[in-house]
Amino acid sequence: YPLRRQRQMCIRDRDDFVKVKQTRFGTTPTGSNISLFSLDNGQGLTMAVTDFGATLCSLHFPDKAGHLDNIVLGYDSFEDLLADSNYFGATIGRYANRIANGQFEIDGKTFQLTQNEDANHLHGGEVGFNKKRWDILVANEDSITFHLSSAAGEQGYPGNLSVSLSYRLTAANELIIDYTAKTDAACPVNLTNHSYWNLAGSGDILAHRLTLECPRYLPVTEALLPTGEIASVANSAFDFISAATIGARINAVAGGYDHCFVRSDKVTGEPKLIARVEDPLSGRIMTMATTEPSIQFYTGNFLDNVQGADGNTYGKHSGFCLEAQHYPDSPNQPSFPNTLLRPDEVYKQTTIHRFSQAGES
């Protein structure tokens, strides 16, 4: 693999990283040391990521008064992260979201994946990318690049998959996440970051104002699988074309929002705006641009008394997710955009989160 050769050239001993603050975070049950890396753009935007799950653990950004808050949900300890079932900040793969019955067919051959949500396969299975220790390729004060090799047969997937992921902070207060993947046998690939955001830093997110550049969405079954229909958001509780508070119509949606919103049916070469969120109280604003055709909007419907970072307790609607990705269950939905990666192809995704305060130009 080209990525494997890159890894051989670039990776250094973990103690050699002198430009990024590296601290011991914990030890896995198999004895692997896990580190936490702190990054800083020099403009007030800081973040911490760990090599366990290539997970975004914290992100601090000032409010309109200059007060810093952590605006992602997370944990203080590695032990809590290890036990996490909410995917706080995790990198999700090989396939984000759900695959019906954990099955799909490639070139006439049926593959059976692990079934970790009733009969369905969710977020890469019982041991997805969020439960793996990633290697470090490059690290400096404002960026870090991880690498993971996923062997053929893991969680039932075909092909050896090589994945590279970088987090980068810019002087424009952007968090840029780049993904690259290559396989030696055809397999579906759908990667995302599963951060829960709360721009206020605490409380619930129902007063946040959301805009989605998505004229369509995917209706779901009771099992949260897409029905196959691609519906218009017009005149419905799913219409965020014009800004609306998250809580304005949430009670009209059974269980709350956990739906794929569709901007396009095609991947774009350059990131395009897909979402904007503003917290009126703090004045913090986050915009998202991505090369992906859709975004999964989830409102933390299943959070229940989770003991999180900085003494916070996360309850229902304590955070929201905006997961840039392809449609769920695409391998079983012929009308959905293709997610099959073949050996002569390279998977690429770029997603950009930009942070600002109300009143900035």
The residues, any chain, with a CB within 8 Å of residue 149's CB and separated by 6 or more, are 4, 160, 161, 162, 163
Candidates 259, 323, 326, 353; catalytic one: 323
Candidates 194, 317, 326, 353; catalytic one: 194
How many whole angstroms separate alpha carbon 220 and alpha carbon 175?
A: 31
Both tokens assigned to 8? 């051989």
Residue 323 annotated in active site: yes
Specify whether the CB–CB gap between 148 and 142 falls below 8 A: no
CA 341 vs CA 93, 181, 263, 354: distances in Å: 13, 9, 21, 29
How many whole angstroms separate alpha carbon 58 and alpha carbon 44?
A: 13
The residue with tokens 């973990």 is 14
Residue 194 annotated in active site: yes
Specify whether the CB–CB gap between 48 and 39 falls below 8 A: yes
Q: CA-based diameter of the chain, in Å?
A: 59
Return the amino acid letter for 340: L
Determine how many CB atoms are found less than 10 A away from the CB of residue 85.
7
Residue 360: strand pairing partners: none
- By three-state DSSP, how is residue 37 classified? strand
> What phi and psi, each to the nearest 5 degrees, are found at residue 37?
-115, 125
Active site amino acids:
194, 323
